[in-house]
Chains A and B, each alone.
Chain A
Amino acid sequence: MEILMILTVGILTTVGTYLILTKSLLRVVFGVMLLSHGAHLLLLTLSGLKEGAPPLLGEDAASYQDPLPQALILTAIVISFGVTAFLLVLAYRTYKEHKTDDLDQLRGNADE
């Protein structure tokens, strides 16, 4: 299971990087989202995916899933959500101001 997940993480990272390297601003935002998905999944995978009960003590099970990475990921999800939302609105404003989403056209002066 870990092997499969790690491969998935690799693919998410690859596609995310590729999207960031393209010209469209929206695709850059997509790339950032994919990269954060990959990071979250990696965090979970590396903490071990052994079968265990959900980290709820009421379950009264013999072993639980590790709660710490889950807390970390939860924090990360919320933060990346905030950042992504902000990025999106930023992209939205950029469209409105410049009527383009092509990063090449958004370039500053060459001799700055």
Chain B
Amino acid sequence: MAIFVPFFYKWFRHIHTGWFVLVLPLLLFIYLLQFLPVGGSMETLELTVPWVPSLGINFTIYLDGLSLLFALLITGIGTLVVLYSIYYIANKKDEPLNNFYVYLLMFMGAMLGVVLSDNLIVIYVFWELTSLASSLLIAYWFHKEKSRYGAQKSMLITVTGGFAMLAGFSLLYVMADQTFSIRAIIDQADIIAQSPLFIPAMLLILLGAFTKSAQFPFHIWLPDAMEAPTPVSAYLHSATMVKAGIYLAARLTPVFAGAPEWFWLLTGFGLMTLIWGSISAVRQTDLKAILAFSTISQLGLIMSLLGIGSAAVHYDYAEVEMLYTTAILAAVFHLINHATFKGSLFMVVGIVDHETGTRDIRRLGGLMTIMPITFTISLIGVASMAGLPPFNGFLSKEMFFTGVVNATTLDIFNVQTFWYLLPVIAWVASVFTFVYCMIMFFRTFTGTYKPEKLEKKAHEAPMGMLISPIILASLVVIFGLFPNLLAYTIIEPTMQSILPNVLEEGERFYVNIYHWHGLNTELFMTAGVILFGMLVFLNLKRWQEAKFFLKERDPLNAVYDRGLDGLVTGSQRVTNLQMTGLLRDYFVFMMVFLVAMLGWTMIRYNAVVFDFVNVSEISPYLWIITFVLIAATISIPFIQHRITAIIAIGVIGFLLALLFVVFRAPDLALTQLLVETVLVVLLLLAFYHLPELRKAKFTAKFSLPNLIVSIGVGLVVTLTAFSAHAMNHEFGFDRISSYFVENSVPLAGGYNMVNVILVDFRGLDTLLEVLVLAIAALGVVTLIKHKMKGGEDV
């Protein structure tokens, strides 16, 4: 479908492209609604399309309660967001609408792929696609610096997590008998829990889930992602993408739950995120930034509830356990609630932005009478977010408190030590949540209207823009008043997918959400939240003078920015350190490595062998030649003049030829003599043609490091040669040369064995050697004859 969007865009200029797009999620949503009874009665849908069967990678669609819940959220809110965006990006001419809808549909497809897949690798592929689509959407206005920054940041963080997750998936694959299928893995949960790879896999997968779901300390990308168009923020950064991590944690709960690490990681990071997000939200002045931090904090809430709920795996389904399954229930319920009210709040903020030209709460105020519908919607949304009684946020918050309070009675995982922390953090965070909800609401809609500070004359939004938030707000109310509508249709099957092995055959979770459950701790906690929230809000001026609130940006951003800069400068420094541009340095690197590697190998395997047994006699004549050769060699570095050095090189070559004579190699001696003569002539020619250099001093400065390196190289070569020599006699293989001795005359008809080998037995080498000479000659001719004109630096 996304492929066709540009065609619609091109061919039907006068109709807003969004209308064509709208059809798809709507149809999908209706299609998925059919499965509601399916999900309710424990039956699941499966569909497999092979992709890479040899590796066990298939597109397997697996639809159970959890997938269905997410799929409904994605398509339902997707429909509303598309509808909203049609009016939000109303200017057809100026905006590249086709890009927008292509990215949006790509994201929607990827997200559906994540929640519907049963195969880990397929999940990973779709997971990265959501990251990609999200980055593209954040940078939709790519001419803005901040958009690009936000897109890059979200990409880096989520992809880092994605890679970690892939690694974790691979570990699961290894542990679970080479299968990528989640259900097959869940069936083997007992085996996996025994594995030594259990903890690493858990950590890696959780890293993926935490980065995607903006958990502390990876939440920093989410506020910067607010540079995206508001429909995108509403869709991706409140309802769907950030919940992918939640989905993953919930999906893999059957595998990992029961381990104390899982409980503490989820609960701990969730609560940390919850309180950090809610405190940070208070000091923001941008409406979208408040919502971003609020999203972070609510995601932390859901994550911590999943953590607490995982404790249920430890017990049989008995009365005790009821307490902990409540936490899962609360998580699922709040997941739905959050998607509804956060989506509507983002849309409301978009409307305010659209109709006034700003999102800064310091410039807004008194919009209550001007925008009555928007005001009503945001009242519902904000009250629900704060957890006030008639709305669904109240119910989920109550259940959250129930879960947390129940968790204090846990007698596993050392909860006894820290039990008091859980409800206290939860309670304080709720107070702050209440405060920022108040700020959002009162600063925007009450107070005095300040027309001079606004770019546009404020007025109510067009009806089309209001449809989606109205639907969402009414859902908030409906779920608030009749929460049991959802209970057995969607929440209960979802709980069954999260906790599959807890129930006996035929049992069902008891889901009943009601407003009034007596005067209990949770109710008092809520009352306290409201009371303290009021107090804090009324004294907000005094509080805001505290230094923490003056900084608008999250302090953790500094860590990220500095880290990124450090990475760049650090790698540059490393590169500059080694890539000096000097041939000498590179040569030293190579030589040192060679020496170190060979030396280490020889010492490691005791390969240094001296064997003086099998040596031949040395004639006095040889003594003299060798002595002169060595003397000439050693003298070369000390020679002052070029001519002398060239002569010394010549001497060495001719002495080598003499050595060949002594060792009875006539052809070698002949060749060596000729070659050396030609070379010396060449050297002299090259030297003669450079008059300006003739006078220059030739000796180089003495350098100790160079000397050490070269002695090392020489030593290693010598030792290797000694060992090879000794081994040679030790193993005593026959030489193949007897074949040449016997067959030169009968097979080749030649008496000179060396020449016969060169042109007959191993003629191919000679052919190519001739080629080498020809190429060298051509190169020489080219270098001398053809001068590069045009001043190119050679």
Cβ contacts under 8 Å, A94 to chain B: 794
The one of B710, B757, B762 in contact with A17, judged by C-beta atoms closer than 8 angstroms, is B710
Are B634 and A103 in contact (CB-based, < 8 A)? no
Are B587 and A21 in contact (CB-based, < 8 A)? yes
Cβ contacts under 8 Å, A27 to chain B: 645, 698, 700
Are B722 and A6 in contact (CB-based, < 8 A)? yes
Q: Complex Cα distance A66/B733, Å? A: 14
Task: Judge whether B125 is part of the interface by a CB distance below 8 angstroms.
Answer: no
Are B769 and A79 in contact (CB-based, < 8 A)? yes
Q: Residue of B at shortest CB range from A67?
A: B753
Q: Complex Cα distance A112/B663, Å? A: 51
Are A70 and B668 CB-contacts (below 8 A) given A37-B653, A103-B582? Answer: yes
Are A11 and B668 CB-contacts (below 8 A) given A55-B754, A93-B783? Answer: no
Q: Residue of B at shortest CB range from A66?
A: B737
Interface of A is mostly: helix
A87 to chain B, nearest CB (A): 9
A53 to chain B, nearest CB (A): 7
Are A103 and B584 in contact (CB-based, < 8 A)? yes
A79 to chain B, nearest CB (A): 5
Are A75 and B668 CB-contacts (below 8 A) given A17-B710, A103-B583? Answer: no
Are A22 and B700 in contact (CB-based, < 8 A)? yes
Cβ contacts under 8 Å, B707 to chain A: 18
Q: Residue of B at shortest CB range from A64?
A: B741
Q: Complex Cα distance A30/B686, Å? A: 13
Q: Complex Cα distance A50/B659, Å? A: 14
The one of A51, A78, A93, A96 in contact with B671, judged by C-beta atoms closer than 8 angstroms, is A78
A88 to chain B, nearest CB (A): 5
Q: Complex Cα distance A65/B752, Å? A: 12
A56 to chain B, nearest CB (A): 6
The one of A1, A10, A70, A84 in contact with B679, judged by C-beta atoms closer than 8 angstroms, is A84
Cβ contacts under 8 Å, B467 to chain A: none
Are A75 and B636 in contact (CB-based, < 8 A)? no
- CB within 8 Å of B: which of A39-90? 40-42, 44-46, 48-58, 64-68, 70-71, 73-75, 77-79, 81-86, 88-90
Task: Judge whether B500 is part of the interface by a CB distance below 8 angstroms.
Answer: no
Task: Judge whether B713 is part of the interface by a CB distance below 8 angstroms.
Answer: yes
Are B665 and A2 in contact (CB-based, < 8 A)? no
The one of A28, A46, A71, A88 in contact with B754, judged by C-beta atoms closer than 8 angstroms, is A71
Cβ contacts under 8 Å, A93 to chain B: 783-784, 794
Are A30 and B721 in contact (CB-based, < 8 A)? no
Q: Residue of A at shortest CB range from B660?
A: A44
A4 to chain B, nearest CB (A): 6
Residue total for B at the interface (Cβ-Cβ under 8 A): 94
Cβ contacts under 8 Å, A108 to chain B: 581
Question: How many A-B residue contacts, CB cutoff 8 Å?
Answer: 257
A110 to chain B, nearest CB (A): 6
The one of B582, B634, B679, B757 in contact with A11, judged by C-beta atoms closer than 8 angstroms, is B634
Are B721 and A92 in contact (CB-based, < 8 A)? no
The one of A18, A44, A56 in contact with B663, judged by C-beta atoms closer than 8 angstroms, is A44
Are A56 and B751 in contact (CB-based, < 8 A)? yes
Contact string, B553-586, partner A, CB cutoff 8 A, digits 1/0?
0000000000000000000000010001111100
Cβ contacts under 8 Å, A28 to chain B: 583
The one of B618, B679, B714, B717 in contact with A4, judged by C-beta atoms closer than 8 angstroms, is B618
Cβ contacts under 8 Å, A86 to chain B: 776, 779-780
Q: Complex Cα distance A8/B623, Å? A: 11
Are A21 and B709 CB-contacts (below 8 A) given A9-B721, A86-B779? Answer: yes
Cβ contacts under 8 Å, A97 to chain B: 794
Q: Complex Cα distance A111/B126, Å? A: 40
Are A21 and B615 in contact (CB-based, < 8 A)? no
Task: Judge whether B616 is part of the interface by a CB distance below 8 angstroms.
Answer: yes
Cβ contacts under 8 Å, A92 to chain B: 686, 689-690, 783-784
Cβ contacts under 8 Å, A33 to chain B: 649, 653, 679
Q: Complex Cα distance A50/B616, Å? A: 6
The one of A10, A16, A24, A46 in contact with B724, judged by C-beta atoms closer than 8 angstroms, is A46
Task: Judge whether B188 is part of the interface by a CB distance below 8 angstroms.
Answer: no
B634 to chain A, nearest CB (A): 6
Cβ contacts under 8 Å, A79 to chain B: 769, 772-773
Task: Judge whether B446 is part of the interface by a CB distance below 8 angstroms.
Answer: no
Task: Judge whether B745 is part of the interface by a CB distance below 8 angstroms.
Answer: yes
Contact string, B609-650, partner A, CB cutoff 8 A, digits 1/0?
000100111100010001001100110110000100100010
Q: Complex Cα distance A68/B707, Å? A: 35
Are B626 and A67 in contact (CB-based, < 8 A)? no
Q: Complex Cα distance A5/B662, Å? A: 12
The one of A6, A38, A46, A74 in contact with B668, judged by C-beta atoms closer than 8 angstroms, is A74
Contact string, B684-705, partner A, CB cutoff 8 A, digits 1/0?
0011011011000010100100
Task: Judge whether B744 is part of the interface by a CB distance below 8 angstroms.
Answer: yes
Are A73 and B633 in contact (CB-based, < 8 A)? no
Task: Judge whether B740 is part of the interface by a CB distance below 8 angstroms.
Answer: yes
Are A15 and B637 CB-contacts (below 8 A) given A68-B736, A70-B665? Answer: yes
Are A77 and B751 CB-contacts (below 8 A) given A10-B715, A24-B700, A46-B721? Answer: no
Are A17 and B713 CB-contacts (below 8 A) given A30-B636, A67-B740, A103-B584? Answer: yes
Q: Residue of B at shortest CB range from A106?
A: B583
Are B582 and A65 in contact (CB-based, < 8 A)? no
- Contact sample, A vs B, 14 pairs, CB 8 Å cutoff: A6-B721, A14-B714, A17-B714, A22-B706, A33-B649, A38-B717, A66-B735, A71-B754, A75-B766, A81-B679, A88-B686, A92-B690, A95-B686, A101-B693
Binding site for B on A (CB under 8 A): 1-24, 26-28, 30, 33-34, 37-38, 40-42, 44-46, 48-58, 64-68, 70-71, 73-75, 77-79, 81-86, 88-97, 99, 101, 103-104, 107-110, 112
Which 7 residue pairs across A and B have the least CB separation, nearest first? A14-B714, A10-B718, A82-B776, A17-B710, A67-B753, A18-B710, A55-B753
